[in-house]
Amino acid sequence: MMSQISLADLNAADKADFVAALANVVEYSPWIAEKLAGQRPFTGINQLHAALMAAIQSAEPDVQLALIRAHPDLANKTQRAAGLTAESTDEQNSAGLDRLSDAEYAAFERVNNAYREKFGFPYIVCVRRHTKDSVLRDFETRLLNIAKTETRRAIEEIGRISALRLDQLVVADDKLKVHGRLSTHVLDNHAGKPAPGIPVELIELASLGESRVIARTVTNADGRTDQPLIGGRPLPIGRYELRFRVAKYYAERNVPLSEPPFLDEIPLRFAISEPENHYHVPLLVTPWSYATYRGS
């Protein structure tokens, strides 16, 4: 966990300290912090981030291009070996880019090279908002764009990256809307009650490479999980499976079941497309039926 600083302290700091504090919010581009220093005080973190984006958007095209080019390639082993900023390393690891299979690595290298060759700058994406799968799909979609669109998209993604870095760095009264939440709830329609003690797994599905369990928990007395399945961060765009096991729950309550039970492991497969939103994916269940929906 990196150390944090309050917005009040940022407002009060001398210019050099302010610039140093924000040095890594945008990759290798201290000129932005320098510009912001003169605009203080900021009344909130949203205002600070808006000012940062305004600085980038009002910069000359060549300055914007330099900013974009200051970013590393995704999943580039040579660059990783040579050393990324700590922030970039953390972010790339969050999407699993540090543990690519050979097939995945080859896929990333291919699109990365194609992108750089077409546009002359690296593909930039806020990887904390993605899974490996969705990064690749995003890559392929954006490769079809014209350069002007991609310059705009790159700056958008820099905006998302910097918002998340600010959110981690600065303590303020207001909050940037950069976090999502994935939650579930098991309701036993056989007994008319929430179902406690149901094992729940969350799996991130991968097209290439291995799907992996990213959360494992058990429902509490209210049929919910004590913590959101994903929370306090963006929900990575991608495909997921929730798995519940219900046969033991019913057997322990002496509900007559067939052998093997008609329902036991119940998979709910769904995709997340809005990283900053709330996804509630409940399970309404009896030994003979179940339902799910995108709830709220």
**Per CB under 8 A, which region of 11-19, 59-67, 189-197, 226-234 contacts a copy of itself?**
189-197
CB of 210 to a copy of itself, least distance (A): 17
- Residue 143's SS3 state is coil
* Binding residue for a copy of itself, selected from 26, 55, 111, 237, defined by CB under 8 A: 237
What does the alpha-carbon distance between residue 285 and residue 194 come to, in Å, rounded to a whole number?
10
Peptide bond between residue 260 and the one before it cis (omega within 30 degrees of 0): yes
Q: Which is nearer to a copy of itself, 154 or 187 (CB)?
A: 187
What does the alpha-carbon distance between residue 40 and residue 54 come to, in Å, rounded to a whole number?
14
Q: Which is nearer to a copy of itself, 117 or 259 (CB)?
A: 259
CA torsion, ordered 257, 262, 265, 267, to nearest 10 deg: -140
Q: Report whether 185 belongs to an annotated binding site.
A: yes
Binding track, positions 203-232, relative to a copy of itself; x by CB under 8 A: -------------------xx---------
**Per CB under 8 A, which region of 29-37, 41-49, 76-84, 253-261 contacts a copy of itself?**
253-261
Best CA proximity match to 41, nearest among 69, 9, 85, 66? 9
Residue numbers 87-106 binding a copy of itself by CB under 8 A: none
Q: Report whether 224 belongs to an annotated binding site.
A: yes
Q: Report whether 279 belongs to an annotated binding site.
A: no
| Binding flag, residue 23, a copy of itself (CB under 8 A) | no
The label of the residue with tokens 């409940």 reads: 282
**Per CB under 8 A, which region of 10-18, 24-32, 93-101, 261-269 contacts a copy of itself?**
261-269
CB of 283 to a copy of itself, least distance (A): 11
Strand-strand pairing, 193-194 and 186-188: antiparallel
- Residue 87's SS3 state is helix
Q: Is 71 a catalytic residue?
A: yes
CB of 173 to a copy of itself, least distance (A): 24
Contact 161, 174 (CB under 8 A): no
**The residue type at 43:** T
What does the alpha-carbon distance between residue 124 and residue 139 come to, in Å, rounded to a whole number?
9
DSSP secondary structure code for residue 171 in this structure:
E
Measured CA angle at 84 (ends 80, 87), to 5 deg:
125
CB of 118 to a copy of itself, least distance (A): 22
Residues of this chain that bind a copy of itself (CB under 8 A):
134, 137, 187, 189-194, 222-223, 237-239, 258-267, 269-271, 273-274, 284, 286-296
Q: Which residues are identified as catalytic?
A: 71
